[in-house]
Chain A
Amino acid sequence: MTECKFEDLIDEYLLNTLSEEKRNQFEEHYFNCPACFQKMAERDDMITAIKWKGHEIFSDLMKEEQTRKVAVWDRLFGFMAPRQWALTAVSAALVLVVTFGVIPALKTQSPQFTLDDHQTRGQSITLISDSIPSRFEWQKMENAWEYKIEIDNHDPLWHKTTNNNFVILPDEIKHKMKTGVAYSWQVKAFSRQGILIAESSKIQFFIPEK
């Protein structure tokens, strides 16, 4: 079977990374090339399964990654004892300064950290958030159809998909959160087709002790 030169575009087309011109060319092509259409349909089946069931298919890989991330975190912040963390989190205002001020600075200083598993995909979303932790807000994106916000400590704690650019944290989740524990939140934007188009950085926050 001879390979069609358009075959190379299948992945990029399905992942929405082609320029508009190339996308149009490829679309016209697969209306005319049964071989490419067939291959693309098979690939699409596989990608759909991966997107839908990825957390199950790759659970072992994800766990491994999480462990690595924790190790990096420990290397960076291990010098601070838990009690110092508690002291740092005296008030919500202070926490805001710490999280929004210190973390991005550290990121730029430490290439290992940025090169770890959280490179930003697509464009970057700017997180706004006025108060932590009941309302989380981020900047709207023109081509986003919906957003998914995820909150986790080392394990996923809560996520929600919404068309708005903010969410209100439900009380039952708030009650589950402990003071002095590092949580992070992150927002992903999806296109109409459900393809990930942008991702914010992960921002750490703490629940202040009363």
Chain B
Amino acid sequence: MGELVNDAQSFYNVRTVERPNIEHDLDAIIAKYRPIVSFRVKKSLGSYTPDWEDVVNEIMLNAIEKLESGKFRGESSVGTFIYTITSRRIIDHIRKKSKSLKYAPEPNPFPQPQEHVENKERAEMIARHLEKLKPKYKEILYLYYYKELSRDEVAKKLDISPRRVSERVNYAQKLLKKMMKK
């Protein structure tokens, strides 16, 4: 997997030296889309799929190769182009995996923050902040995200409009962001 990244980078380095002003600055493309592709892959495969990072690397490499070889002619945005590659690769992966699903290891019981310690610490910190929110905000987060009631159900239960539910949730998120900055 490290190899793939290196390949992609050396590939890119050579090209930018030759054409420093090409429209698709590959470095910027990698920096911009890698997190998005990662998010999409993790969401579809689950972050406890051990090889999700390999899948991301393959997608990025594939995208770069296509951009490089001129197969991408700008008939869509770069974003849509990479989105399409990502979706196809994910479908492939799931198809292959579901054949051997029987032997797959037991996944984690809950959407655990990914293995990495810093992600766990982050989730832990967010939780501590959320605990401190006013009951009004905690209640709505509890019903909407923890119990997964629909927006209309939450609205009914709290006797507010559905629009107000979204606003309150957004505000809770804003408060959280503020607390995280401190």
A interface vs B, CB < 8 Å? Answer: 8, 11, 15, 17, 24, 27-28, 30-32, 34, 37, 40-54, 56-58, 61, 117, 119, 121, 145-146, 148, 161, 163, 190, 192-196
Taken together as a complex, chains A and B put the C-alpha atoms of A77 and B44 apart, in Å, by 45
| Docked CA distance A123–B122 (Å) | 33
Closest to B42 in A: A193
Q: Which of chain B's residues 128-163 have a Cβ closer than 8 Å to chain A? A: 130-131, 138-139, 141-142, 144-151, 153
Binds A, one of B18-26, B67-75, B110-118: B110-118
Give the bracket for the number of chain B residues in contact with chain A. Answer: 35 or more
> Which B residue sits closest to A33, measured CB to CB?
B79
Q: Is B13 an interface residue (CB 8 A)?
A: no
B10: chain A residues at CB < 8 Å are: none
Contact B127 A57 (CB under 8 A): yes
Q: Is the interface of A mostly helix, strand, loop or mixed?
A: helix
Nearest-neighbour CB distance to chain B for A166, whole angstroms, equals: 15
**Contact in complex: B33, A31 (CB < 8 Å):** yes
B77 near A32 with CB under 8 A, answer yes
Measured CA separation A161–B33 after assembly (Å):
35
Using Cβ atoms and an 8 Å threshold, which residues of chain A touch B148?
Answer: 15, 121, 195-196
- B79 and A193 contacting across the interface, CB-CB below 8 Å: no
